[in-house]
Amino acid sequence: MSISPKVTPIYQTSVFTFEDLNALEAYFEQPGQSYLYSRNGNPNTDELAEEVNQLENGQGAVATSSGISAILTAVLVYCQSGDHVLCAEEIYGGSAALLTQELTRMGVQVSFVPMGEMYSFGNYVQANTKVLLVETISNPMMTVLDLAKVAVECQKQGVKLVVDNTFASPVITKPLELGADIVIHSVTKYLSGHSDVTAGVVVAKVTEDAQRAKQIVVAWGLNLSPFDSWLAARGLKTLKLRIRQHSENALALATYLQNHPKVSEVYYPGLSTHPQNGLASAQGKGWFGGMLSFRIKDEVETVNRFMRGLTHIPFAPSLAGVVSSVSYPLGTSHRALTEEQRAKLGISIGLIRLSVGIEEAEDLIADLEKALAAI
């Protein structure tokens, strides 16, 4: 009986069998034609990597156990002890912590570039500088970079450009087409989309970098499980539909918040008042994603009353699920930063990050209205 499943089955196995020694030798002589051990490769993991690779128009990809392991892999593709990494000053706190708390212990030097100098960062480049790490849309202030301009400067300085495209997704922006060398995602977020997977992916512009990334994942044990790979690949099937709804809802909520008397500032690329609105529109074809931040009074109790006033939008330190959620950068994503660093970035007590889901926008606005009335 011939079996032809419409959906790839879950290969929930740690190891694969061989018929004889000839089959074993064929595995090593013809990479990618068969499987040995799931740390080295698994059909589900490979399917996820290849689907994201196609979305980003890359030349090879590898799935990883988390977004942070994807960043680690991308940096290690180009860096070793004694090398220097540049990083955008305005970036996810976990990324900054990985660089400053862990990679520095391995002998990798790290410097941060202010967002205002991203297009002319030559003063920060050293003889051993290998990589610049940036985000397409920054976390949590939603600054949109002109990646093409950053890429030109990277090429001028002889520096590889690694772009975290998590907030935008390849539906909105394809960094490799704009000059990036590697693009990474926290698959946990939009690519999977349902808050039930922890995963990452590294996509490279050239085959050699993709092969090196795969080698690092295998050697360091940064691989993703078959089941999580299967779940993430399932989420990818609705990515474009979800991004459209996330974007439409986020624009509606950002517009509402912008006009609310208890909200002093709103950060969303889709607003005409956003500094990089035109740039975001050019990259996103009219979609700006589902992430926004806004500022209320800088008082802990005011923030607490707002959080407690929400009924349908949970307070959860993550993002990009189909269900909306709010987060608190000061106490979660950017907690490891110093008080001076947070102040410089504008991450104050009253800053709230909102991940807008795919629910009815009117229901989300009603919940925000109730919570804002409580303050």
> Is 13 part of any domain?
no
**What domain range includes position 111?**
21-236
What is the structure's pLDDT at 188?
98
> Is 12 part of any domain?
no
> Is 9 part of any domain?
no
Q: What are φ and ψ of residue 129, in 5° steps?
A: -75, 125
Q: 261, 286, 183, 259: which is closest to 269 by C-alpha?
A: 286
Domain shared by 173 and 229, yes or no:
yes
CATH number for the domain spanning 271: value is 3.90.1150.10
> Is 192 part of any domain?
yes
Domain shared by 54 and 192, yes or no:
yes
Contact 223, 64 (CB under 8 A): yes
> Is 5 part of any domain?
no
Query: Which two three-digit tokens encode residue 255?
Result: 């517009």
What is the structure's pLDDT at 282?
64
Domain shared by 153 and 258, yes or no:
no
Rounded to an integer, what is the distance from CA 227 to the centroid of its chain? 21
Domain shared by 128 and 74, yes or no:
yes
Domain shared by 152 and 269, yes or no:
no
What is the structure's pLDDT at 283?
66
> Is 271 part of any domain?
yes
- Give, to the nearest 10 degrees, the angle between helix 300-309 and helix 361-373: 140
Domain shared by 86 and 196, yes or no:
yes
Domain shared by 154 and 250, yes or no:
no
Domain shared by 185 and 281, yes or no:
no
Domain shared by 309 and 354, yes or no:
yes
> Is 7 part of any domain?
no
Among 236, 261, 287, give the residue marking a domain's end: 236
What is the rounded radius of gyration, in angstroms, for the C-alpha atoms of the chain?
21
Low-confidence ranges of the chain (pLDDT < 50): none
What is the structure's pLDDT at 258?
98
Give the residue numbers annotated as catalytic, written as ranges: 39, 92, 164, 189
Domain shared by 223 and 367, yes or no:
no
Among 190, 213, 236, give the residue marking a domain's end: 236
Give the whole-angstrom CA distance, residue 356 versus residue 312.
Answer: 12
159: left (phi over 0), alpha (psi -120 to 50) or beta: beta
Domain shared by 93 and 164, yes or no:
yes
Domain count of the chain?
2
Domain shared by 125 and 250, yes or no:
no
Q: What are φ and ψ of residue 333, in 5° steps?
A: -60, -30
Among 236, 257, 272, give the residue marking a domain's end: 236
Q: Residue 16 half-sphere exposure, CB side, CA atoms within 13 Å?
A: 16
> Is 15 part of any domain?
no
